[in-house]
């Protein structure tokens, strides 16, 4: 059951960091996944552009459009009442001009119903867009380390910050994001020693995915943690339920019973009233 009697807010997250209470974020992509993740106690629901891979079947997050994000964000918001819903700005959006970034982020909140947006990267264009959103009253979550939208530029899904130069760059980027006004930062595929330094240096919460034990919180993809139709199994993912196996088993049983004529049986069919049967069949029953 949900652990939150009230709506999770940005203030809630900062209190959790200050109190040392770990933050739990789960991705959600539709109404049922939002309902179940919230019922399980998730503090935040991330409508991630990872939906491109685990829901839409793309090889990366790059093909995901703003319209895709709006469609799925609306569904998640309808299923969430206490968790804070964060929606991803899709590929390239955060690198456009301030006006375009504001329009996209505004649509995710005004049309989609999200309470915040997440932005990948930390170059000058991205920072400028973040500042524009924050100035307009749009809460922004940052995302550094492995940024899936840049997977082709990064040369694949690789751990970031393993050498001194790149570790320092990550720490600098985290500080720049905080200065730009983000309320939280996702650290993806980063050595936990670097994560620890960043988390200690920031006033805003850090949320890790493949970033070790020392973040203020963690996030996992819904389909990964439940082993539900996901073919990817990153080493940092822990499977908490083998939902996919159970789903396949249930469907296979259904198919077998249909083939054998065992489903539907009389219990699962509707029957006519006897008086109607008499009229239709002249007193005969079938």
| Catalytic residue set | 188
Q: Is 120 annotated among the ligand-binding residues?
A: yes
Q: Is 49 annotated among the ligand-binding residues?
A: yes
Beta strands in 146-278 (DSSP E): 184-188, 206-209, 217-220
User: CA 77, CA 83: separation in Å to the nearest integer?
Assistant: 9
Alpha helices in the chain (DSSP H): 10-19, 31-39, 51-54, 66-79, 98-110, 124-135, 151-154, 164-180, 192-201, 222-225, 243-260, 274-281
User: CA 109, CA 115: separation in Å to the nearest integer?
Assistant: 6
Q: Is 118 annotated among the ligand-binding residues?
A: yes
DSSP H or E run through 47: strand 44-47
27 with 220: CB under 8 angstroms?
yes
Instruction: Tell me the two tokens of residue 193.
Output: 């020693």
Q: Is 74 annotated among the ligand-binding residues?
A: no
Q: Is 173 annotated among the ligand-binding residues?
A: no
| Cβ-proximal residues to 68 (8 Å cutoff; 6+ apart), any chain | 49, 51, 52, 56, 90
Q: Which residues are annotated as a binding site?
A: 49-50, 88, 118, 120
């Amino acid at each position: 059951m949900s652990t939150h009697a009230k709506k999770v807010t940005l203030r809630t997250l900062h209190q959790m960091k200050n109190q040392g209470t770990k933050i739990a974020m789960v991705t959600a992509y539709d109404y049922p996944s939002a309902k179940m993740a919230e019922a399980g106690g998730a503090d935040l629901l991330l409508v991630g552009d990872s939906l491109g891979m685990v829901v839409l079947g793309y090889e990366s997050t790059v093909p995901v459009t703003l319209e895709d994000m709006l469609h799925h964000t609306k569904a998640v918001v309808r299923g969430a009442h206490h968790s804070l819903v964060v929606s991803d700005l899709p590929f390239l959006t955060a690198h456009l001009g301030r006006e375009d970034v504001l329009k996209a982020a505004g649509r995710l909140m005004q049309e989609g119903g999200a309470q915040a947006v997440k932005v990948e990267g930390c170059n000058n264009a991205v920072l400028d867009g973040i500042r524009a959103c924050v100035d307009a009253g749009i809460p922004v979550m940052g995302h550094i380390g492995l940024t899936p939208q840049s997977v082709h530029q990064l040369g694949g899904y690789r751990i970031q910050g393993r050498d001194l130069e790149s570790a320092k760059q990550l720490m600098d980027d985290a500080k720049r994001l905080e200065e730009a006004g983000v309320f939280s930062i996702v650290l993806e595929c980063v050595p936990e020693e670097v994560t620890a330094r960043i988390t200690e240096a920031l006033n805003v919460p850090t949320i890790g995915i493949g970033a070790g034990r020392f973040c203020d919180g963690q996030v996992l993809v819904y389909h990964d943690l439940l082993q539900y139709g996901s073919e990817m199994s990153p080493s940092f993912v822990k499977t908490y339920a083998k939902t996919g196996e159970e789903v396949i088993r249930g469907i296979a049983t259904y198919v077998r019973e249909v083939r054998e004529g065992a489903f539907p049986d009389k219990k699962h069919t509707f029957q006519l009233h006897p008086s109607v049967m008499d009229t239709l069949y002249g007193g005969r029953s079938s």
